[in-house]
Amino acid sequence: QLQLVESGGGVVQPGGSLRLSCAASGATLDSYDIGWFRQAPGKEREGVSFIRSRGGSTKYVDSVKGRFTISRDNAKNTAHLQMNSLKPEDTAVYYCAVAHIYSNQGIFDSRLYASWGLGTQVTVSS
């Protein structure tokens, strides 16, 4: 059974950077589409970034475009989210998840993702 573990979170000042990792075990990631989501206190979980299993096309929510970069390393069974120019509003628990997404409309629909990690906390504060 596929298990996901996120790491790389922490406390960073505004303008700083973090690189999150998502390590998979129990199955290979190469056939899955991968999404990064986040949930801030009192807010709903939102999709942040997405990468296709085939071709590696990517998608970002508008609020992180130009600052975050998603990538995957199928050989190492991992995915990453490079986060630059962090803002206080980026503070949240970040989750990676996998799915087979057949329609672009479902890319950030968390209900379509079957496997999730437990999350890693990102806090942006001065």
CB 38 within 8 A of CB 49: no
Query: Is the predicted pLDDT of residue 56 greater than 90, yes or no?
Result: no
Per-residue model confidence (pLDDT) at position 49: 98
Residue 72 has, within 13 A of its CA and on its CB side, a CA count of 25
Residues 37-53, mean pLDDT to the nearest whole number: 96
Return the bridge partners of 5, or none: 23
Query: Is the predicted pLDDT of residue 60 greater than 90, yes or no?
Result: yes
Short-list 109, 93, 86, CA closest to 14: 86
